[in-house]
Amino acid sequence: MVNIAIFASGGGSNALAICTYFENHPNIKVSVIITNKPNAGVIGVASKFNIPSYIIGKKNMEDGSLIAILENNKIDFVILAGFLLLIPTMFVRQFENRILNIHPSLLPAYGGYGMYGHFVHEAVYKNKEKISGMTIHLVNEKYDEGRIIFQAECALDVHDKPEQIAEKVLKLEHKYYSQTIENYINSFVS
| Residue 14: CB minimum distance to ligand GRF, A | 3
CB atoms within 10 A of CB 110: 22
Please give the order of strands across the beta sheet that includes 53-55.
53-55, 28-35, 2-7, 77-80, 99-103, 131-138, 148-155
- Per-position x/- string for 115-144, each x denoting binding to ligand GRF as judged by CB under 6 A, each - no binding: --x---------------------------
| Footprint of ligand GRF on 18-37 (CB under 6 A) | none
| Footprint of ligand GRF on 52-91 (CB under 6 A) | 81-82
Of residues 4, 102, 106, 156, which one binds ligand GRF by CB under 6 A? Answer: 102
| Residue 45: CB minimum distance to ligand GRF, A | 9
- The sign of the torsion formed by the CA atoms of 117, 121, 127, 129 equals positive
Residue 111 binds ligand GRF, judged by CB under 6 A: no
Of residues 2, 5, 12, 107, which one binds ligand GRF by CB under 6 A? Answer: 12
Which three-class secondary structure state does DSSP give residue 127?
A: coil
* Known active-site residue 25: no
Residues 166 and 58: their CA atoms lie apart, in Å, by: 28
- Pick the catalytic residue from 25, 103, 118, 137: 103
Beta bridge pairs of residue 177 = none
- The sign of the torsion formed by the CA atoms of 12, 10, 143, 54 equals negative
List the catalytic residues: 103
- Binding site residues, ligand GRF, CB under 6 A: 8, 10-15, 81-82, 102-104, 117, 170, 173
